[in-house]
Amino acid sequence: MALMHYPVTDKNGQVIHSAVTNLDLHDIARASRTFGVSRFYVVTPLEDQKSLAQKIIGHWVTGAGSEYNPKRQQALSLIRIADSLEDAAREIEQETGERPEIVVTDARPQARSMGYADFRKRMELGKPFILVFGTAWGMIKEFIEAADIVLDPIVGPTDYNHLSVRSAASIILDRLLGR
C-alpha cells in the first residue's frame, strides 16, 4: 500500500504537497497489519514531513512506545518512507523481480474503473501491486490516468462522498482481503 502526499490536489484542484498526519499513519498501519499487507509506504518528498513520519514511527517501533504497546509496534513497523511512488515501485521490483502494478483509488467515478470482486480475482495471480490512496482532495488526474488499474469508488446511499483516507483504506482492504 501507499499513501500519497504528493502529487495531490487541494479543494480548488491545485497540485499540492499534503501534510503527514499521525492518525493516518497509525490507523492505516493498523488496518494494513490486520489484513496482511506486507508494506505501507508513506510517499512524500518533503524533508520535514519525512522527519515527522520517522519520529512517529521511531517512537512506536524502537522507542518507548514499542514497550508500551507492542501491537502498535507490529503495525507501524510495516511503514516505509519514500520520496515518490516510483521509488517504492523500484524497491518492490528489486525484491520480487517483477514491476508492481499501480492500483489507485478515487472517490470520483472513473470510466475505466474495476470492481472489487474482479480485482480480488486478479490478485490471485500473485503478481505484485501497490494499492495507492491519495490524501487531501485526491491524486492528480494525470496520476490516476497513468495507473494500471483504478478501483471503483466507495459509494454510500447518499450524495455525500468524502470519507477520510483512513476509513476508505479500511473499507477497501476489507473488500479485497477480508474473509
Which whole number is the average pLDDT over 169-179? 97
**CATH number of domain containing 79:** 3.40.1280.10
- For 53, 100, 117, 135, 158, the CA distances from 176, given in Å and listed in that order, are 27, 17, 8, 20, 23
- Residue whose C-alpha is closest to residue 37's, from 122, 125, 129: 129
The model's pLDDT over 116-146, given as tens digits with 9 standing for 90+, comes to 999 999 999 999 999 999 999 999 999 999 9
Q: What is the pTM of this model?
A: 0.96
- What would the DSSP string read from start to end of 81-93? EESSHHHHHHHHH
Per-residue pLDDT at 169: 98
Counting the structural domains of the chain, the total is 1
Per-residue pLDDT at 37: 98
Which whole number is the average pLDDT over 156-168? 94
- 86, amino acid identity: E
What residue numbers bound the domain in which 51 lies? 2-177
Instruction: Determine whether 139 is exposed, middle or buried from the number of CB atoms within 10 Å of its CB (0-12, 13-18, 19+).
Output: buried
